[in-house]
Structure 1
Amino acid sequence: MSNTEDQYATTKVQPKDFVSGWVVALIIASTGLSVSTLFLGSEIALSLGFEKALIAFGISTLVLTLMCMATTLIGNRSRLSTYMILHFSFGEYGAKIVNFIFGVTLVGWFAVALELLAIAIFDTAASTFSFSVSKELIIIVTSLFITFTTVYGIRSIEKVANISIPILTAFLGYIFYLSVAELESFSSLFDFVPEENGMTLFKATSILVGAAILFPVLMADFSRFIKTDKQSLASVLGLTIGTPLAYFLSAVPSIQTGEVDIIKIMEEFNMVIPAFLLLFISTWSTNATNLYSASLTFSTINKKWTFKNVVIVSSIFGTLLALFGFATYLFEFLEFLGILAPSISSIYFIHFFWIKRQRYNLDDIAKWEPSALISWVLSSLISVFTYLEVFQITGAYFLDSFLLGAVIYLAFQWKAIFKPAQ
């Protein structure tokens, strides 16, 4: 992809910067290897048991894959970023509202990853060096490093991560092998039943969908660089294979050791330091990317805000969330995303294929698109009621959000859809 930092932010990607779909698939797959993703895989496996966890991994991956397949084609055919695509479907000002939601979400992920990284550093210092340091201090110091990286050196840390992530994958595979080797039989994994089961299969599936729900919405940011339709669809395999693989590689050692914390798991195999170094680099890179993306998103709301100042403010907000223990509310946060985000995907899918008939003119952007905004708000409000089980539609509130967004938007745009093509 292009090396220019802000290239194609508001214009179409040019053929000279097209890449293979497999390159993008690897980029997408690499995002799954972070402390927060491994934590989710471990937590759900220990809460549900291995068999039900595999079902949750499978269903959530299927839902996300189908959504991504729909939206990846929009990016590939329009050659525009998600930010610009939202301009067409939601209007210039409406897109700013949606982008604000995305920015807050990314800062939330920044806070979660920051807190989990601090816990990993704290556990490593205590178990390996018998050294204790305040978690709050660790959060502040690591936040400063990540913020500095985001402003000045994100490219270098990403290059390091491109090396560390394949190594981390192989390392997790080796730990998986050691975990299986210590089992009496592989079937004993399926016999594992948690002592306290406070999580249902539906709740686990919802959490996993929420964890990656921004992928379908933001898929255009990746697929706009891909050469062909077929390759853009193939790039979705990065999520279809990579994300459940990360969950699976963390689930088995967790069941075998009874630990959720990846560092404590590695301690069982006397591999704390190499595991910590790999996780530290990959999570540092991922979190720098979270902060970078959040800051770019907030920068689009007001062009007068400088990127550097937005990074600092976003970092301060994310750090405060981490200090107040935002990771405690991770599951609720992910369920909230499952309410808000799916309808955005269905709305801009319908707008691109059925209203604009796959033709976006950069000079044809309205200030407001009330029908899209109203559809999004209404579908989100109704999905809140299905989430709270006041009444049911499909039985899955994230599917309710996706389908309601589509149905309500279709109702508003019925005449435009059946208007003869010019």
Structure 2
Amino acid sequence: MEPSNQYTNTKVQPKDFTSGWLIALIIAGTGLSLPTLYLGSEIALNLGLKNALVAFGIATLVLTLMCMATTVIGNRSRLSTYMILHFSFGENGAKVVNTIFGITLIGWFSVALELLAIAIKDAAFDAFEITISKWAIIILASLFITITTIFGIKSLEKLANIVIPILTLFLGFVVYKSIGELESLQKLFHNHNQDSNMTLFDATSILVGSAILFPVLMADFSRFIKNDRHSLIAVLGITIGFPVALTFSAIPSLQTGEVDIIKIMREINLVIPAIILLFISTWVTNATNLYSAVLTFSTIKQKWSFKKMSIVASIIGTTLSILGFSDYLFEFLEFLGILAPSISTIYIINFFWVKKQEYLLKDITKWESSALISWILSSTIALLTYLEIFQLTGAYFVDSFILGGLFYFIYKRKEILK
């Protein structure tokens, strides 16, 4: 595949089909990111290992079930998420939704860059007493990531094939070494903040919000996969990769009592390998984030080349990172948990029951009011349940998912039931 042809607005051709195992590696690699490792540590230290593992499991189950539906849609349609949204939301409606997703992905890009820069800056000072400018690290890392992204899904595959096994083995070694230094395994279950206000529900909500874009964006990757069976194999990147990454970050944090990964690595004398780990993991994750963001914006600015869009999106994300966007990480994740789930359920219903698994370009309209109204209503109610003005299921992200589907089903019931 040529770098300029990433099938932003067209169906993927058979010559570029790939294995579900390779895509699973890419997806698993995004779990080995600084934001995810930070969340695993934070939740474990607040809840203890037992409750943290329950939260990891519930969040993974929710995400897996959603991904199983959306990955099949991408595989059968061979279209990107952003083109798929045209059929359920209309041409202009999809631009509204895509703009939100694009901004969200750029936000993730900037958060990961900033956390990386802070970690490397601290590590360089601790190990060598060298002071490195945070913005210089951000710009350098962004440059590597942008170049990788420009060469598209194939370059991400090659990068993931090399680094993901290495990163997994490294983190596994860190866990092994952490457990070896424990006086008793009971410490893992008792060494947490007894005064924490974080609940099991809070932790599960944050985790679902942290990865809620996976179900929505699975089509971006599954459209390249050989067949349905392989597209479901790709979901293992979430089902296995997500909880493993969280657990691998939780155990060293509980052993050391630290959430900062550099402080954790200093405790077990692995600061230098940690710097390499952080850089490579952010490279893989942010190349994926930027790739998806470019696909999003490509449906809005269709005349721009993939390369041009990659550069512009990278500049925006890098600027946000320098300005300190990571200060709003938790609010950012909660925002995603309100808006994104209903979009998934709307386009799942649209593909399987409204369009009967067949997308025809002539069917795209300018606006699809049924989807837009369903999304706005479900998001508004989910916001109210998030603010605890009243409660439905007790989980605002579940409210968003169920209500989005319910409202859309009511609007489209005649087409669905005919």
The TM-score, its normalising length taken from structure 2, stands at 0.93
Where structure 1 has 5 or more consecutive residues not aligned to the other structure, the ranges are: none
Contact 1:161 1:282 in 2 (8 A): no
**Other-structure match for 1:55:** 54
Matched to 2:33, the amino acid is S
Contact 1:168 1:279 in 2 (8 A): no
Q: Classify the secondary structure of the residue corresponding to 1:413.
A: helix
Is 2:384 the counterpart of 1:367? Answer: no
Contact 1:123 1:264 in 2 (8 A): no
Is 2:138 the counterpart of 1:139? Answer: yes
Contact 2:4 2:307 in 1 (8 A): no
Contact 1:294 1:314 in 2 (8 A): yes
**Other-structure match for 1:259:** 258
**Other-structure match for 2:276:** 277
Residues 66-77 of structure 1: pairs in structure 2 closer than 5 A: 66-77=65-76
Is 2:396 the counterpart of 1:393? Answer: no
Q: 2:153, 2:235 → 1: CA distance?
A: 25
Decide whether aligned partners of structure 1 residues 226 and 141 sit closer, same or farther in structure 2, where only a CA change above 3 A counts: closer
CA shift digits 1:71-119 (9 cap, x unpaired): 1221222222212211111111111111111110111001100111101
**Other-structure match for 1:43:** 42
**Other-structure match for 2:231:** 232
Q: Classify the secondary structure of the residue corresponding to 1:417.
A: helix
**Other-structure match for 2:325:** 326
CA shift digits 1:43-63 (9 cap, x unpaired): 111122111111110110010
Between the two proteins, what is the percent identity of the paired residues?
69
Matched to 1:133, the amino acid is I
Residues 28-39 of structure 1: pairs in structure 2 closer than 5 A: 28-39=27-38
Matched to 2:79, the amino acid is L
**Other-structure match for 1:408:** 407
Contact 2:191 2:257 in 1 (8 A): no
Q: Classify the secondary structure of the residue corresponding to 2:302.
A: coil
Decide whether aligned partners of structure 1 residues 331 and 133 sit closer, same or farther in structure 2, where only a CA change above 3 A counts: same
**Other-structure match for 2:291:** 292
Query: Which range is displaced more, 84-93 or 280-289?
Result: 280-289
- Deviation of residue 362 (structure 1)? 2.5
**Other-structure match for 1:108:** 107
Contact 2:152 2:291 in 1 (8 A): no
Decide whether aligned partners of structure 1 residues 343 and 81 sit closer, same or farther in structure 2, where only a CA change above 3 A counts: same
Contact 1:160 1:281 in 2 (8 A): no
Q: 1:219, 1:138 → 2: CA distance?
A: 30
Matched to 1:245, the amino acid is V
Q: 1:25, 1:157 → 2: CA distance?
A: 12
Matched to 2:107, the amino acid is G
Q: 1:305, 1:96 → 2: CA distance?
A: 15
Decide whether aligned partners of structure 1 residues 240 and 3 sit closer, same or farther in structure 2, where only a CA change above 3 A counts: farther
Decide whether aligned partners of structure 1 residues 193 and 271 sit closer, same or farther in structure 2, where only a CA change above 3 A counts: closer
Matched to 2:206, the amino acid is I
Matched to 2:51, the amino acid is K
- Deviation of residue 273 (structure 1)? 1.0
- Deviation of residue 139 (structure 1)? 3.1
Matched to 1:188, the amino acid is K
- Deviation of residue 400 (structure 1)? 0.4
Query: Which range is displaced more, 169-178 or 180-189?
Result: 180-189
Is 2:187 the counterpart of 1:188? Answer: yes
Contact 2:145 2:283 in 1 (8 A): yes
Q: 1:229, 1:146 → 2: CA distance?
A: 30
- Deviation of residue 157 (structure 1)? 7.7
- Deviation of residue 132 (structure 1)? 1.9
Query: Which range is displaced more, 377-386 or 317-326?
Result: 317-326
Matched to 2:414, the amino acid is K
Q: 2:71, 2:179 → 1: CA distance?
A: 37
Residues 138-157 of structure 1: pairs in structure 2 closer than 5 A: 138-147=137-146, 150-151=149-150
Decide whether aligned partners of structure 1 residues 343 and 271 sit closer, same or farther in structure 2, where only a CA change above 3 A counts: same
CA shift digits 1:281-308 (9 cap, x unpaired): 2212322332333233223212244545
Decide whether aligned partners of structure 1 residues 294 and 329 sit closer, same or farther in structure 2, where only a CA change above 3 A counts: same
Decide whether aligned partners of structure 1 residues 75 and 146 sit closer, same or farther in structure 2, where only a CA change above 3 A counts: closer
Matched to 2:408, the amino acid is Y
Q: 2:310, 2:283 → 1: CA distance?
A: 15
- Deviation of residue 384 (structure 1)? 0.4
CA shift digits 1:374-402 (9 cap, x unpaired): 11111111110010010111100000000
Query: Which range is displaced more, 55-64 or 261-270?
Result: 261-270
Query: Which range is displaced more, 147-156 or 223-232?
Result: 147-156
Decide whether aligned partners of structure 1 residues 264 and 347 sit closer, same or farther in structure 2, where only a CA change above 3 A counts: same
Matched to 1:415, the amino acid is K
**Other-structure match for 1:247:** 246
Contact 2:80 2:295 in 1 (8 A): no
Matched to 1:263, the amino acid is I
Is 2:173 the counterpart of 1:169? Answer: no
CA-based RMSD: 2.2
- Deviation of residue 127 (structure 1)? 0.7
Matched to 1:416, the amino acid is E
Q: Classify the secondary structure of the residue corresponding to 2:363.
A: coil
